[in-house]
């Protein structure tokens, strides 16, 4: 009886979530309804989101070069080598590697990801190079164009400790983050070699082809009960046979030298490569994901000066509050202060 009442009261909320970035087939009975997806609910959401992102990119295109637009169109990601001049890059590394930070960590399988969530308002005096970097116009323009949305990204300093054991890291399986375009960026502070868990991407998988759409529909019908929890929550995993079914190539590793920026569309399939030995890579990480059904570019809460200056802290507080309300998961746990590459505590 209580469960029936709960469902009745929450049905309007679950329905309204269709017009947001909500993606979980497991947690939203409307999004995960097999009958609705059999007649095309999930496919409709993808089509509408893709149409709107194309419209928004028309207005964002003037901020990026034609070469960058073509690179993204072909691959689903862009690469900029020697993004900063040598002097600024060395100064930026000094600020990051020689400072003590409030650290947070998340474990996934055998990988520990460490982050320092950044507040732009507190960086200008003590960390001028870092402050300048997160406001770099080419970085912001690339993120917004690839995401197909305006607004302010959320920035972190990130260290990825991987390969220390053979416990499976779910990020090493090819996957798409969600059903619509959104962007992540990695600015690598050290060389990332072939065996250092480089980022890997399935070239061209950001495109909405008929084969991709058919595969998405098939997945949506059964996703709610999928044994892989990430898949059930809307981050579809694509194994070798799935990629072949969609006419896509295998993921390609992208080892890069230090001072390289990669911006990628997370609707495309990507993964963290597996390393045979313990390794650590350090980067400045950014993410930009908004409601895909917005027809406009602006009106982003993090563009308001108060929120923009405190975006890191506010993101953490919001995740913590959602967890307390039973509406989300706060994976980033505080582990004290230290340098970004300090050994992981057992």
pLDDT in 10s for each residue of the chain, 346 residues: 445 545 555 688 889 999 999 999 999 999 999 999 999 999 999 999 999 999 999 999 999 999 999 999 999 999 999 999 999 999 999 999 999 999 999 998 889 999 999 987 788 889 999 999 999 999 999 999 999 999 899 999 999 998 766 667 889 999 999 999 999 999 999 999 998 889 999 999 999 999 999 999 999 999 999 999 999 999 999 999 999 999 999 999 999 999 999 999 999 999 999 887 889 999 999 999 999 998 888 777 777 777 777 777 777 777 777 666 665 667 888 999 999 999 888 6
CA distances from 331 to 97, 106, 107, 114, 277 (A): 24, 6, 8, 11, 25
The secondary structure of 102-155 as a DSSP string is EEEEEEETTEEEEEEE--GGGTTTT-HHHHHHTT-HHHHHHHHHHHTS-S--EE
- Spatial distance between the Cα atoms of 119 and 152, rounded to a whole number of angstroms: 12
- ∠ CA 306-312-314, rounded to 5°: 60
The reported pLDDT for the residue numbered 245 is 98
Closest-CA residue to 117 (of 305, 342, 331, 326): 331
Phi first, then psi, for residue 72 (nearest 5°) are -65, -45
Q: Is 293 within 8 Å of 52 (Cβ atoms)?
A: yes
Enclosing H/E stretch for 47: helix 41-60
Note the pLDDT of residue 287: 96
3-state secondary structure 161-187: EECCCCCCCHHHCCECCCCCCCEEEEE
pLDDT at residue 27, as a whole number: 92
How far apart are alpha carbons 316 and 337 in whole angstroms?
Answer: 16
Q: How many other CB atoms are found less than 10 A from the CB of residue 143?
A: 23
DSSP label of 326: T
Q: Please choose, from the candidates 282, 251, 283, the residue with its C-alpha nearest in 3D space to the C-alpha of residue 171.
A: 251
CB 97 within 8 A of CB 157: no
Quote the pLDDT of residue 19: 94
| Angstrom distances, CA of residue 130 to CA of 95, 114, 285, 309, 344 | 7, 18, 12, 14, 24
User: What token pair was written down for 24?
Assistant: 């979980």
Do the beta carbons of residue 271 and residue 175 sit within 8 Å?
yes
3-state class percentages of the chain: helix first, strand second, coil last, to nearest 5 = 40, 20, 40
In angstroms, the CA 50 to CA 32 distance is 20
Note the pLDDT of residue 161. Answer: 92
pLDDT in tens, 244-271: 999 999 999 999 999 999 999 999 999 9
Phi, psi (degrees; rounded to nearest 5) at 75: -105, -35
Q: pTM of the predicted model, to two decimals?
A: 0.93
Complete DSSP assignment for 282-312:
EEEEEEE---TT-SSS---GGGSHHHHHTHH
pLDDT of amino acid 346: 66
């Amino acid at each position: 009886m209580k469960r029936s009442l709960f469902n009745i009261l929450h049905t309007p909320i679950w329905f309204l979530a269709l017009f947001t970035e909500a993606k979980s087939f497991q947690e939203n009975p409307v999004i995960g309804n097999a009958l609705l997806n059999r007649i095309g609910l999930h496919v409709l959401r993808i089509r509408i989101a893709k149409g709107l992102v194309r419209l928004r990119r028309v207005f964002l295109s003037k901020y990026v070069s034609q070469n960058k637009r073509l690179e993204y169109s072909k691959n689903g990601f862009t690469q900029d080598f020697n993004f900063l001049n040598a002097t600024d890059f060395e100064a930026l590394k000094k600020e990051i590697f020689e400072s003590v930070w409030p650290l947070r960590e998340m474990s996934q399988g055998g990988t520990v990801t460490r982050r320092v969530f950044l507040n732009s308002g507190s960086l200008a005096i003590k960390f001028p190079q870092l402050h300048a970097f997160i406001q770099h116009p080419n970085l912001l323009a690339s993120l917004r164009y690839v995401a197909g949305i305006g607004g302010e990204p959320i920035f972190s300093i990130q260290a990825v400790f991987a390969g220390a054991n053979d416990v499976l890291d779910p990020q090493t399986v090819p996957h798409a983050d969600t059903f619509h375009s959104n962007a992540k960026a990695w600015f690598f502070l050290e060389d990332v070699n072939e065996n250092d868990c480089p980022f890997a991407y399935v070239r061209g998988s950001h495109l909405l082809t008929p084969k991709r759409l058919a595969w998405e529909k098939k997945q949506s019908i059964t996703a709610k009960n999928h044994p892989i929890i990430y898949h059930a929550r809307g981050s579809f995993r694509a194994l070798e046979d799935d990629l072949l079914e969609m006419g896509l190539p295998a993921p390609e590793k992208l080892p890069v030298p230090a001072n390289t920026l990669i911006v990628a569309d997370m609707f495309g399939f990507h993964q963290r490569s597996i390393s045979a030995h313990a390794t650590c890579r350090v980067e400045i990480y950014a993410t930009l994901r908004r409601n895909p059904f917005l027809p406009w570019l602006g009106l982003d809460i993090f563009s308001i000066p108060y929120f923009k200056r405190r975006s890191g802290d506010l993101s953490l507080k919001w995740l913590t509050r959602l967890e307390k309300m039973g509406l989300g998961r706060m994976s980033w746990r505080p582990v004290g202060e230290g340098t970004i590459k300090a050994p992981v505590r057992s």
